[in-house]
Structure 1
Amino acid sequence: MPPIIERVTDLETRPAPPLLRRAAPALLGYAAVRALGLVVLALWSAARDKSALTLLSARWDSLWYSRIADLGYGYEVRLPNGDVHSNLAFFPLLPWLERAVSAVTPLSPAHAGLLVSTVASLAAAWGIFAVADHVHGRRVGVCAVLLWAVLPVGIVQSMAYSESLFTALAAWSLYAVLTGRWVTAGLLASLAGLTRPVGLAVVAALWATAIASFGRIGRSTASHGAPAWPRALGMLLAPLGAAGYVLWVGHRTGKGPLGYLDIQAGWRNGFDGGYAFARFVVGKFTSFPSALAGVGLLVGVGLIAWLYVVCVRQGQPLPLLVYAGVVTALALCASSYFGSKPRLLMPAFPLLLPLARALAGARVPRSAWILGGVAVASAVYGAFWLNGTGPP
């Protein structure tokens, strides 16, 4: 966590309380939403004779992460169609943390992953608040955190997955960029790059902002009169995490610097500009029931595109636009795991800021009723989803 327990200034440049105390309403609201989701999941799972704890800690990607924490890299599954699923596809920071927590507590790696994810989700909520508060003020910050909490797939924030950890590192790196802490931003971007391949988005945001500041562009995100070397050092540090892991995979597999792409190909995952996803959506219109899902997908993609356009029109700072744009592009243009798109989009929290601004501008009772209703719907959907297909 960056050194952020200090006094900052609000939009009127008056002294503000320490950032943690300032974020307290957002964090309490976030914790309440996540608690609601867990209670509904526990009740739903019990009714189906399933363990909510197992659903959260020992299914899908959670199993891969905990196996890496327990046994290291080198495990793979060969499917009947010839595909090879290697655990080298999973970046190492989460399993490292699971192993560390498991070593000093009685927790298994899987349960340690839940603890890491829980702490990381609170850090992510705090980081989202810090960014939104810095750009639009405290009330928007609170609304942004609550909107992130009530996303339809928000239950993933409580799973032993890497989304919460990545979002925490990304949000605080972006906050560091916005406040001119370039070295801190670079270190956090490097850690984000050790967490998920989409760490590229954090690197791109930092690099774009630093380059713009060198060229005397985007002065609102640069440090006026600050020496150039912190920005240069931040740019140097930012890609080291992702680059280091990708190069290590290439060396381990003997396939060279781009060997990681072969690992992803074994999972039938890659970047095709959205062609496979477009075919998937079009294929939904072959029959009436599935056509409704196709319409829903088109509406969802259209909403995401509209939100990004609104972000641009509202003048969001350059690092937020670059970060959200890259996360969105990588999520929508990946060639496989179409059911994972909502989960992969979850770290793109700047897309929520226009909605947060609208909620912040409404009367408190109205905003509370809207967020409360969506929170209940999200909790029910998360329990239904996780007891069914869940996050592939």
Structure 2
Amino acid sequence: MTDLQTRAAPPGPAAALRRAAPALLGYAAVRALGLLALALWSAARDKDAYTLLTARWDALWYARVAGGGYGYEIRLPNGDVHSDLAFFPLLPWLERLLHAAAPLSYGGAGFLVSLLASLAAAWGIFAVADRVYGRRAGVCAVLVWAALPVGIVQSMAYSESLFTALAAWSLYAVLTGRWVTAGALASLSGLTRPIGLAVVAAVWAAGAVSLLRDRGARPADPSGRIGGPAPGPGASVGARAPRTAVVLGMLLAPLGAAGYVLWVGRRTGRGPLGYLHVQAGWRNGFDGGYAFARFVAAKFTSFPSALAGLGLIAGVGLLLWLYVVCVRQRQPLPLLVYGGVVLALALCASSYFGSKPRLLLPAFPLLLPPAVALSRLRTSRSAAVLGCLAVGSAVYGAWWLNGSGPP
């Protein structure tokens, strides 16, 4: 890995867009293939693809918040209460804004937000991977992210694309020493999804290392950069900033999540633990993976389901192995912290198990090792691999949304 401190200053927006153009065009092509497959599959089953993307599952909850604010809940026969307070507000706010400015339904506005945010996320993923591993790896990282089996969620009126865009650009801001920007984006990510905590943790970890490293170090040069490599992933944050900027970024980072959680606590009358109570009504919580382990173990009660159990174990093993590879490749500390927290929250939460692949969608640092491997192949070979992944993702996404879909 090329040390970030030896890289030139980040290019301007126009140059950065030109550099990212192959990745963005490739991303658009992969997602267009997925949408085309969904349209054809849905038509064959007399279903409307646009409805599947904008008016089912969580998209309905976001649209309801956008249209009428918070306060809606469903009481199930078993006593569980599904409250819309479980859904963070940034996506509904944007849906309401677009609905007021254009002739779009709330769900349609969410679909447009996701399309634009997914492109921003792809650009952010490219920017991070390009800075750490180079342009070719950046293009491969974006295409692998686009071609994930559950990649169709990136085009739905869900919050995953918006969150990934904010997370990726916050991490890039950390890597380039733009601490206030990093903190502001982390705060917005905390208004988007509960795993905004992963972005906050990344900013805090990198900020703490930066402040500790700054003690006794020589003053930064006028460009804000320091010469010479420093060992360890924590030293991969490649630009020095004034301590006040680092501290301000760290203070800004948790404000979004903390503000919403405290507001929910006040609204429910349960104080700081109010949001946890809301999540409990959805049977969501953090149990260290106990419920997930029981779910996997239950698969081995019969032969057909045992195959699914083996597949789940293999999938978890693959994710853990990828994270170990990330550590061995000495990814920058912010990426390791962010990817590790997203992985831990997804695997150790007691939420509905079918949603775990979707919850892992923002964990793009885990895709950097395969992206680096693909970037080292001949162009024809890497194109063939990525093409197969794109076709498989398109077919699976079309089948999935016309079936059980993302919970």
The answer to whether the 8 Å contact 1:250/1:257 transfers is: yes
* Residue matched to 1:372: 387
Whether 1:113 aligns to 2:110 is yes
Which of 18, 21, 34 is the equivalent residue of 2:18? 21
SS of residue in 2 equivalent to 1:257: helix
Whether 1:266 aligns to 2:281 is yes
* Residue matched to 1:37: 34
Whether 1:198 aligns to 2:195 is yes
Which amino acid is 1:171 matched to?
A: A
Separation in 2 of the partners of 1:156 and 1:15?
A: 31
Further displaced range: 330-339 or 214-223:
214-223
- Deviation per CA, 1:206-235, whole angstroms, max 9, x where unpaired? 0000001111183331533x3100000000
SS of residue in 2 equivalent to 1:81: coil
SS of residue in 2 equivalent to 1:18: helix
* Residue matched to 2:237: 221
Unmatched tracts of structure 2, length 5 or more: 214-231
Q: Residues 379 and 11 from structure 1, CA distance in 2 versus in 1: closer, same or farther, beyond 3 angstroms?
A: farther
* Residue matched to 1:78: 75
Separation in 2 of the partners of 1:70 and 1:269?
A: 25
Task: Tell me how far 1:42 sits from its aligned partner.
Answer: 0.2
* Residue matched to 2:378: 363
Separation in 2 of the partners of 1:90 and 1:15?
A: 35
Further displaced range: 367-376 or 213-222:
213-222
Whether 1:188 aligns to 2:192 is no
**TM-score (normalizing by structure 2):** 0.92
Unmatched tracts of structure 1, length 5 or more: 1-8
- Deviation per CA, 1:355-383, whole angstroms, max 9, x where unpaired? 00000000000000000011001100000
Whether 1:136 aligns to 2:128 is no
Whether 1:391 aligns to 2:406 is yes
Which amino acid is 1:191 matched to?
A: L
Which amino acid is 2:271 matched to?
A: G
Higher relative contact order (CA 8 A, sep 6+): 2
Which of 214, 233, 236 is the equivalent residue of 2:248? 233
Give the percent of matched residue pairs that are identical in Structure 1 and Structure 2. Answer: 77
Which amino acid is 2:404 matched to?
A: T
The answer to whether the 8 Å contact 2:5/2:239 transfers is: no
SS of residue in 2 equivalent to 1:85: strand
Separation in 2 of the partners of 1:83 and 1:193?
A: 26
* Residue matched to 2:43: 46
Which amino acid is 1:314 matched to?
A: Q
Separation in 1 of the partners of 2:6 and 2:243?
A: 26
Task: Tell me how far 1:12 sits from its aligned partner.
Answer: 6.2
Whether 1:303 aligns to 2:318 is yes
Which of 243, 247, 264 is the equivalent residue of 2:258? 243
SS of residue in 1 equivalent to 2:323: helix
Q: Residues 284 and 80 from structure 1, CA distance in 2 versus in 1: closer, same or farther, beyond 3 angstroms?
A: same
Separation in 2 of the partners of 1:348 and 1:11?
A: 27
Q: What is the root-mean-square deviation of aligned Cα atoms in Å?
A: 1.4
SS of residue in 2 equivalent to 1:98: helix
Whether 1:167 aligns to 2:183 is no
Separation in 2 of the partners of 1:268 and 1:10?
A: 45
Separation in 2 of the partners of 1:186 and 1:36?
A: 35
Q: Segments of 4+ in structure 1 off by > 3 A?
A: 9-17
Q: Residues 251 and 15 from structure 1, CA distance in 2 versus in 1: closer, same or farther, beyond 3 angstroms?
A: closer
- Deviation per CA, 1:332-370, whole angstroms, max 9, x where unpaired? 011021001100001000000000000000000000000
SS of residue in 1 equivalent to 2:82: strand
The size of the alignment, in residue pairs, is 383
* Residue matched to 2:228: none
- Deviation per CA, 1:297-325, whole angstroms, max 9, x where unpaired? 00100000000000000010000000000
The answer to whether the 8 Å contact 1:213/1:222 transfers is: no
The answer to whether the 8 Å contact 1:273/1:333 transfers is: yes
The answer to whether the 8 Å contact 1:209/1:222 transfers is: no
* Residue matched to 1:3: none
Which amino acid is 1:303 matched to?
A: L
- Deviation per CA, 1:60-114, whole angstroms, max 9, x where unpaired? 0000000000011000000000000000000000000000000000001010000
Separation in 2 of the partners of 1:317 and 1:12?
A: 14
Separation in 1 of the partners of 2:236 and 2:149?
A: 34
Which amino acid is 1:262 matched to?
A: H
The answer to whether the 8 Å contact 1:121/1:157 transfers is: yes
- Aligned ranges 1:272-283 → 2 under 5 Å: 272-283=287-298
* Residue matched to 1:148: 145
* Residue matched to 1:284: 299
Separation in 1 of the partners of 2:51 and 2:10?
A: 46
